[in-house]
Structure 1
Amino acid sequence: MSKSTNTPNIDDLSLYDSDQEALVDTPAHRKTKSRDANGAPTENASGTSKQRPESKYTAEEAREATLRKELESVRNINKVIEDVVSSLEKAKSNMDPDLADIESEAFQRQQAAEQSRIHEQMRREAAARKAEEEESRRAETGSRPASGARGRGGA
């Protein structure tokens, strides 16, 4: 089995369509287009040059590039959001010790106020006992006569 000259060489085939004209090179198309001596397409009878349609692969590559740009944009937005969430979590954790300090200070103030109230009550009770002792001493000294105390005029 020998290869015929009409069989294309597989190594020459490419998945990328760099030659736009080869994509539309059909027998029907060949009848309507003409080429100059250099092989470049010439203007048709209406006077306008034939516009080449965009390749399927080129369109997909452009779509993929657009999607990649959009994906990168979404990733950037996600990164910004993650940074904001991280900052908020740090702020929350910083506020937790602050709240603990505030609660501790409030508890200490409450204890100091309670101690002040107890000291004040003890001072009043001590002052009241002292006043009662003095009152009872006065009452005792006022009810019995002082010994050896005599009036001025002697006998």
Structure 2
Amino acid sequence: MAPPASEKLIISDTEEDLFASPSRSPRASIPKPAAAAATEPPRESRYDAEAARTATLERELASLQDTNAAIEGVIASLESARGSMGTVSTTVTSASTLLNTWTRMLGQTEHNQRLLLDPNWKGASQDLVDAENEVVMRAQAAERRAAEEARRREEARAKAEEEERVRLAGGTTRGRVTRGRGRGLRGSGSVGGQRPASGLGRTASQRGSGIGRGGVASTRGRARGVR
């Protein structure tokens, strides 16, 4: 009997299962890896993230706008307060001016009252004359002070000149005294050297020496004779 052809031997999975051992469990199907599905998120989740981010940014923008509005309100309040302070300052200045005017009026009224009650007051014309006299007296006093100051400066200048002149004169006198002392020393040196100053001195010295010598000679002769 001829062996069957290999082309006709076609064994299917079902036939293999038939020949398989009854104790062997059927093969489990191997699941496909889901790495590609995990790396690419679905389109719906990406859209939700963008929407949430946009909503967060809108909330932050609204918060910043509210903060800016509050700051602008504070600035407007400060500007209004500055205007109010300017008004208050103007009012205070006006009140101070009025108070000063009122004070001057009261002072003038008191002065007039004193003048009217003063028995020595001779009227406004006399007051004008007294005021003119006071001005003249002040001018004269100023002139006297100026003249006194000029006199003091002149005295100080004259004193300084006198001191300078005395100092220069003292230096000249010292030079003359030094020269006189030098000349005196020279004259005394001539006397110490026994130099005759004139012919008369020489004659007198010669005469004196002759007399002395004669006296000595006669004495010597007498002494020899006695011996």
Q: Does 1:47 align with 2:33?
A: no
Q: Does 1:121 align with 2:73?
A: no
Match of 1:81 in 2: 53
| C-alpha spacing 1:113/1:42, structure 2 compared with 1 (3 Å) | farther
Q: How many residues align?
A: 108
- Normalising by structure 1, we get a TM-score of 0.55
* Gaps in structure 2 of 5+ consecutive residues: 1-9, 119-227
Q: CA deviation at 1:125?
A: 1.8
Q: Does 1:110 align with 2:89?
A: no
**Which of 40, 43, 61 is the aligned partner of 1:67?**
40
Q: Which has the larger radius of gyration?
A: 2
Asked if the contact 1:35/1:42 (under 8 Å) is kept, the reply is yes
Alignment of 1:1-155 (within 5 A): 34-35=13-14, 44-45=20-21, 47-54=24-31, 63-64=36-37, 67-69=40-42, 71-145=43-117
Q: CA deviation at 1:65?
A: 7.8
- Normalising by structure 2, we get a TM-score of 0.39
Asked if the contact 1:34/1:41 (under 8 Å) is kept, the reply is yes
| C-alpha spacing 1:145/1:68, structure 2 compared with 1 (3 Å) | closer
| C-alpha spacing 1:44/1:116, structure 2 compared with 1 (3 Å) | farther
RMSD: 3.3
Q: CA deviation at 1:42?
A: 5.7
| C-alpha spacing 1:141/1:53, structure 2 compared with 1 (3 Å) | same
Tell me the SS of whatever aligns to 1:35. Answer: helix
What percentage of aligned pairs have identical amino acids? 6
Q: Which has the higher contact order (CA 8 A, sep 6+)?
A: 1
Letter in 2 for 1:141: Q
* Gaps in structure 1 of 5+ consecutive residues: 1-29, 147-155
| C-alpha spacing 1:43/1:143, structure 2 compared with 1 (3 Å) | farther
* Aligned structure 1 segments of 4 or more residues deviating by more than 3 angstroms: 40-46, 62-66
Letter in 2 for 1:97: A
Tell me the SS of whatever aligns to 1:50. Answer: coil
Deviation string, structure 1 residues 31-84 (Cα, Å, up to 9, x no partner): 6x7416xxx9569435110123346xxx57x84487343x43233222111101
Greater share of helix: 2
